[in-house]
Amino acid sequence: MSHSSSRLRWRVVDIVVAAVLGIAVGLIFFAWNFAGDTIGDALKLILPPLKGLVGGMWLLGGVLGGLIIRKPGAAIFVEMIAALVPALIGNQWGLSVLFSGLLQGAGAELIFLTFWYKLWKLPVAVLAGICAAVFEWTYEIIVWYAGWAPIHKVAYLGVLALSGAILAGVLGWLIQRGLARTGALDRFASGREVRTLI
């Protein structure tokens, strides 16, 4: 078995930690579903596309999952688990959040795949947050905001992408590094990499 294939193969610890991470992020989503949506609705009254400023938080699971687990499918797996939690507990969108989770995770996954699961710097995390936002935007524009004026749709893409870059990309990267510094990720390359720099 080559080093590359073993590096990308899932271990039991990867599955367990990804599931726990997904549940933790899902609980954040559950809280944000109400707080973030209330803020977003208030922003929408000012200018509809501004609702996207709060959207990046819902993209966090995929970016964080990819950064920590560093295996193919981790971004999708963690984001799907994170979406499942509020779907089971209760939210204002019902089971549609599972489809959103799939798209958001796939957007982040695409960026990690583009770099062959080898590059984990801040710019990659930011790109993953942006790509997750683009995937989610496509869904929302079709399902929720089809009646918006074209200029609002384009502006919403820009605002949501900015939010994804910051609240999923930068925040996800900072959380991963923070967890690594505590030693909680020592069984992962993502943890050892940061700890060797300390």
pLDDT, tens digit (0-9, with 9 covering 90-100), for 63-103: 999 999 999 999 999 999 999 998 888 777 777 889 999 99
Backbone angles phi, psi at 73, to 5 degrees: 90, -5
Long-range contacts of 107-110 (CB under 8 A, 24+ apart): 107/59, 107/62, 107/131, 107/132, 107/133, 107/134, 107/135, 107/136, 108/59, 108/62, 108/63, 108/65, 108/66, 108/75, 108/79, 108/132, 108/168, 109/62, 109/66, 109/72, 109/73, 109/74, 109/75, 109/76
Is pLDDT of 2 > 70? no
pLDDT at 197 over 80: no
Least confident of 131-145, 146-160, 178-192: 178-192
Average of pLDDT values for 136-155?
Answer: 96
Alpha-carbon distance of 59 to 129, in angstroms, equals 7
Residue 3 has what pLDDT? 56
Of 179, 191, 64, residue with least CA distance to 132: 64
For residue 154, with 0-12 CB atoms within 10 Å meaning exposed, 13-18 middle and 19 or more buried, which class applies? middle
The answer to whether 22 touches 81, Cβ cutoff 8 Å, is yes
Q: What is the pLDDT of residue 192?
A: 84
Residue 195 has pLDDT above 70, yes or no: no
What pLDDT, on the 0 to 100 scale, is given for residue 198? 56
What rounded mean pLDDT belongs to the chain? 92
Q: Tell me the two tokens of residue 27.
A: 């609980």
Examine the pLDDT at 1 and tell me if it is beyond 60.
Answer: no
What confidence score (pLDDT) does residue 191 get? 85
Q: Are the CB atoms for 23 and 134 separated by under 8 Å?
A: no
| pLDDT score for 196 | 67
Tens digits of residue pLDDT in 20-66: 999 999 999 999 988 888 999 999 999 999 999 999 999 999 999 99
Percent of the chain with pLDDT over 70: 96
Phi, psi for residue 178 in degrees, rounded to 5: -65, -45
Query: Of 44-58, 91-105, 121-135, 174-188, which gets the smallest average pLDDT?
Result: 91-105
Rg (CA), the chain: 17
